[in-house]
Chains A and B, each alone.
Chain A
Amino acid sequence: MTFAKTLTKVIGAATLLAGVVALSNLTARAEEEQPNPTRQQWTFAGAFGKYDKAQLQRGFKIYKEVCSNCHELHIPIRTLAQPGGPELSVDEVKALAASYTVKDGPNSSGEMFDRPGRPSDYFPAPFANPEAAAAALGSAPPDMSLLAKARKYERGFPAFVFDALPVPGGMYQELGPDYIYAILHGYEKDEDPNWNAYFPGHKIAMAKPLTDGQVDYTDGTPATLDQYAKDVASFLYWAAEPTLEDRKSLGVKVMIFLLVLSCLMYFTKRTIWSDVAH
């Protein structure tokens, strides 16, 4: 029995030690690195989230006028018209597509040729290839089609547990848009346009891309950097996750169905086992 007690104590102490050691200099680490982005309110967050179509359209305008000069957005133009997105009309999308020049071919004489874009085309890239982009800009800007899902920040314990759960302040899946929003706000040093508070290491290749009043809004929304950052982050989340509305609305139905089935199953099981001692 003494052995038992000693053993229990050793295990307990060692586990505790490991835990304490692990947690001890978390704070120390946080000081050296960039601050975490703050959580924003997004219409597409939560179990019933939906995109704000006007916001996506504004975000698209920012992409078109600013981002697209350097960044590729590898998604088909036609998706702007599909349900659960910016929902431009089919004619608007056709006109938009036709405003791009797309390389096609080879034709019957074996040559590549330019033609006006069609809705089924992808948004053309600003550079022929990443190497050309890197040669022109210093480093190749990332493709934006999945950017909002490809960026996140460390949440740490125990926050990351609640991020998955349907509790108040939980269900946090919008780390990417928050990161993009924070980056656009992170150019805090006027003397250095490539210094960003939220970028790991603080040296970002992209110089401050957006300032107040840079893009005209026609729907009366304030033309501020803060609004731009929200709109473009929303648009990029849609670009990365165009089926979000379908997914969440189907999800609600599936959960209700499973809850009903679980109750029925429970009562059936109880009835079947009612004459068995167990």
Chain B
Amino acid sequence: MHGLSTFEPKNGVVKWLEARLPILSFGYDSFVAYPTPKNLNYWWTFGAILSFMLIAQIVTGVVLTMHYTPEATMAFSSVEKIMRDVNWGWLMRYAHANGASMFFLAVYIHMFRGLYYGSYKNPREVLWILGVIIFLLMMATGFMGYVLPWGQMSFWGATVITNLFSAIPLVGDQVTVWLWGGYSVDNPTLNRFFALHYLLPFAIAAVVGLHVWALHVTGQNNPDGVDVQDIKKDCVPFTPHATMKDGLGVTVFLLLYCWFIFFTPNYLGDADNYIPANPMKTPPHIVPEWYFLPFYAILRSIPDKLMGVIAMFGAIAVLAFLPWLDTSKVRSAKYRPLYKKLFWGFVLVGIGLGYCGAMPAAEPYVTASRILSVLYFGFFAVLPILPKFERTLPVPATIAEAVLAKSESVKTAAAK
């Protein structure tokens, strides 16, 4: 997608800088003149929404760090001090805690969009894998951030998740002790989680940089899944067209985000986390935050410790192999009737797993999550053989043609 730069410095200072560090032409080519397929829908604004959320989390997070104390006896009360005494502290904390949920909500939509429109396929495999890495880093960051308030759910969530590593054969127990820095989750664990929780968002930002770089090499996929043939006919410049659309997407998303911050700030959290951590008393019902629930359900569905852990991590790792599991030449589910059904089935399976993960580890949820776990992996198992049975619909030759067909069908509908 990279043609010759159309950036022409007029100002002397800009020319001087251009000759030494061509950052302005780089910015211009990447975010102003950059050709964007004209048929993108609003599901494509989630990239911008995610960038916004990453910045919002880093800004509110840095602010919270100025008031938070990462020490086992003081962490809980320092968070309470933020909520009660620090100027705007309640806003910063509620924005950060709900921001994590919004970040995950947006990333799930972003991933399902990629899944639906085949955005992981040749030539965007590396782009997709970088996305899976970002998702993993986000999960690690979200988990460690949840530990910091040092409430009951923080403590017992940390205990349960770190105990996953004890499933590793031979060295599992040593690894767990190493992770804890002791013989249980305690002050050393809190301290290192705090350090890593501060570090990882910057690692995420770096991988996001690579993700955007890879995106700008291959260009964006689009709802019809056809390659750009003629930039003049198929594309519009990123600014103002995509910028404005992204801006609208971010603003509407902010409405949802602010609704949670201001009116239902504790809805997505767990009441038990307002009880200080007590290493002598496990809460009756341990649940992770909602965004981990589907994976938690897969973990619990298998009665063997090691296999459960493998299945859980496997459920994420399998995403990275998607570009090679799906062998269909057609990208978009718009032209793949069978894949489209399978996709929506997969969405339902994900929601079902999430629901089971929130429920106690008892019947009927155990059986339900076993069935759903099999279906989860079944989706990936069926993909390679699917093209043998699927009769795909005719794909438009170009984006311009797809757009024309769409506007004509609108006209016909209006005429009727």
Contacts and interface: CB of A to CB of B under 8 A. Distances in A.
A117 B272 CA distance: 32
Greatest chain B CB density within 10 A among A142, A252, A255 is at A255
B389 A258 contact: no
Interface in B199-231: none
B80 interface: yes
B262 A248 contact: yes
B62 to A, nearest CB: 21
Interface in B383-397: 389-391
B80 A146 contact: yes
Interface stretch (B124-132, B317-325, B340-348): B340-348
Contact of A243 (B90, B271, B356, B403): B90
Contact of B262 (A247, A265, A277): A247
A112 interface: no
B78 interface: no
Contacts of B341: 4, 8, 11
A150 B274 contact: yes
A250 interface: yes
Interface string B15-49: 00000000000000000000000111000000000
B334 interface: no
B176 to A, nearest CB: 29
A21 B315 CA distance: 23
Contact of A164 (B267, B356, B365): B267
Nearest to B254: A258
Nearest to B236: A276
A142 B275 contact: yes
A240 B407 contact: no
A98 B38 CA distance: 71
Greatest chain B CB density within 10 A among A8, A15, A145 is at A15
Contacts of A265: 244, 247-248, 251
Contacts of A278: 38-40, 236, 403
A81 interface: no
Interface string A192-204: 0000000010000
Contact of A7 (B94, B284, B342): B342
B36 to A, nearest CB: 10
A171 interface: yes
B22 to A, nearest CB: 28
Interface string B392-413: 0000000000011001000000
B241 A276 contact: yes
A59 B401 CA distance: 70
15 contacts: A3-B389, A7-B342, A11-B345, A15-B349, A18-B371, A21-B364, A22-B356, A146-B274, A171-B264, A247-B91, A258-B255, A269-B248, A276-B38, A277-B38, A277-B404
Interface of A: 1, 3-4, 7-8, 11-12, 14-15, 17-19, 21-22, 24-25, 47, 74-76, 79, 142-143, 145-146, 149-152, 157, 163-164, 166, 171, 173, 175-176, 200, 240, 242-243, 246-248, 250-252, 254-255, 258-259, 261-262, 265-266, 268-269, 272-273, 276-278
